[in-house]
Amino acid sequence: MPPVSRRHFLIALGAAAPAARLWGQEGNDDVVLRAMRDELERSRQLRVVGGGSDEVPYFISYTLSDTDSFTVSAAFGAVNGVTRNRYRFPVIEVRVGSYDFDNTGHIFSGLYTGSRYDVEALPLDDNYLSLREGFWLGTDHAYKAAVESIARKRAALNNATASSDKLSDFSKADAVTSLGKIASPKIDEAGWTARVTKLSGIFSAYPEVLASGVEFHLNQGPTYLVNTEGTAVRYPDDVMWCYAKAEGQAADGMVIREGFSAQALTAAQFPPEAELQKAMTAMGEHVKALSRAPAGESFTGPVLFEPQAAAQLLAQLLGDNLRLPRKPVAEPGRNVNFLPSEFEGRVGGRVLPDWMDAIDDPTQTAWQGKPLVGFYAFDFEGVKPQPVSLIEKGVLRRFLTTRQPIKNSPASNGHARLPGGFGTRMAAIGNLFVKAAQTTPLADLKTRLIQLCKDRDKPYGMLVRKLDFPFSADNGELQALSSASTQSGGSVRPVSPPILIYRVYADGREELVRGLRFRGVSSRSLRDILAASTETTLFDYVNNGAPLARLGAGGFLAPAAVIAPGLLFEEMELERPQDQLQKPAIVPPPNS
């Protein structure tokens, strides 16, 4: 148990009021929902006894993910891990103060230094009293942390210069009741294990692949959310995804990588096995080709992104900047680990060419007959998502928002999809549609790329077919990439390097090269787009909140989709890292 603080206080709870006052009688047959409602109603009576504080909660929210998960991993045709797990994960939010000023948004919001009972995992059985006890203990902890946090926040503000931009800490939202029926289909553990094992065995045919792995994950089960404003929702919150990594080494020691991911909201929408086998085979062929390709050289000039690579680029340069987090309150002189949006202060300014628009619409379920994984019924705060026209004729008009107000956006548009820092939630894209009013066939864009190189006396231009996004390397490479991006004047968030990048010569010939990364690329680079292709593509991925959505990183999941055309840039910089290369293995692999 943590040390007892000098400031002790207790929680007093009055008698519970009838839950029907908030929600009516819907869902009373669901023991989990009933336990959440009843304990939430009792928690309305929270008061501090002693300690000199009169803080009472003005808002309480309970969220519960009731998840049945299955994971299987394999390499070179052999299973190396199978996990089946069932858990109920609660998120309890208690706010004291008022909508205008509360305990969130301070550098230490949510921290409690006093004595407490840590919340145990909630029971898997539908035991009413045991469930209520779990929420009671969680509420006790969250309330004590809230009271302590608001005191810290007031103290920090007393020592700081008053800000002219006074924003509320929380916005009101309409109460919603939606208690969808929940199905629990049986998980085909044997079937998925066999598929993953077979997929991983494809790499055995490629001696150039020195390390590889395939993993499949399935999370299924409902999410519940109730709050003191009257919202009560229950909805299926299923997602499945498969990712693969393959690694090789060129003769000079340079490590080369390929990555792949597929995701869906239902088993019926998941790619068929033949499609996955084709993807694994392509990965093996790419590693083989990259191991024999020449190393790229530093380049400044025209670059053409084919639609998949363009969508991957936009997922980073647009997707990660279309939210506007607020800097937390901190004591004067204290450094704050805070990553702002590159679009901060640019509403009304041009961020794309004037013939391009960007709209995020999580309400769409399909595009050209293909399912969209960025669809969701409710966000992390129980708010229904809205379509948001973000960029109109190249001009940034608005941001994706949560219930934490930002300048000129006092209310949520239903995009709180991930946990945020400092007691808040983080906005994230759902289905991002990037549209161009002026388009040119991709083949003609390649011709234009060649002409631009001739006009600038460049021996070749660069064509990007695929980026390493989600990122397939480890944390060490991610840190090196981030450091290089900052030093080169690029994005404060690193941009994933290309996996498949080609020199395009005057006669149209393409030559695969390896080992390049972008230099000085940021969201401002998007204003230099010269043209967009008529062809568009759908690229989807699982946003896990990790930098570059790194494959295998844990955490909350926000599946997302980007629909975009190919893009031609007048000028971009690429460089070859000067990292020390690894020595190749002394003995060749067994399958060589």
Q: Residue 554 — pLDDT band, cuts 50, 70, 90? A: confident
What CA–CA distance (Å, rounded) separates 137 from 142? Answer: 9
- So where are the chain's domains? 10-66+86-179, 186-220+238-295+580-592, 299-323+343-575
What CA–CA distance (Å, rounded) separates 311 from 319? Answer: 10
Mean pLDDT value of segment 358-364: 98
Enter the pTM of the model. 0.92
DSSP state of 83: E
Query: Contact 567/532 with Cβ under 8 angstroms?
Result: yes
pLDDT for 101-155, tens place per residue? 999 999 999 888 877 666 667 999 999 999 999 999 999 999 999 999 999 999 9
pLDDT for 44-57, tens place per residue? 988 876 655 678 99
Residue 15 pLDDT > 50, yes or no?
A: no
Query: Among residues 86, 419, 464, 77, which one has the least CA distance to residue 309?
Result: 464
Coarse DSSP helix, strand, coil percentages of the chain, rounded to the nearest 5 percent: 25, 30, 45
Phi then psi dihedrals of residue 87, to 5 deg:
-150, 155
Q: Residue 483 — pLDDT band, cuts 50, 70, 90? A: confident
Query: Contact 423/105 with Cβ under 8 angstroms?
Result: yes
pLDDT on residue 159? 80
CATH for the stretch 186-220+238-295+580-592 = 3.30.160
Least confident of 54-63, 115-124, 301-310, 324-333: 115-124
| Tokens matching residue 412 | 């949520």
> Residue 58: enclosing H or E segment and its boundaries?
strand 57-75
What CA–CA distance (Å, rounded) separates 356 from 259? Answer: 30
What CA–CA distance (Å, rounded) separates 64 from 153? Answer: 28
b or e along 521-538 (b: 16 or more beta carbons within 10 Å of the residue's beta carbon)?
bbbebbeebbbbbbebbb
What CA–CA distance (Å, rounded) separates 462 from 574? Answer: 9
Q: What angle do CA 65, 70, 76 make, to 5 degrees?
A: 145
Q: How many CB atoms lie within 10 A of CB 64?
A: 25
State whether residue 277 is helix, strand or coil.
helix
What CA–CA distance (Å, rounded) separates 284 from 203? Answer: 6
Distances in Å between the Cα of 529 and the Cα atoms of 183, 247, 439, 443 are 46, 33, 12, 17
User: Helix/strand/coil (H, E, C) string of 142-153?
Assistant: HHHHHHHHHHHH
| Tokens matching residue 483 | 């450091």
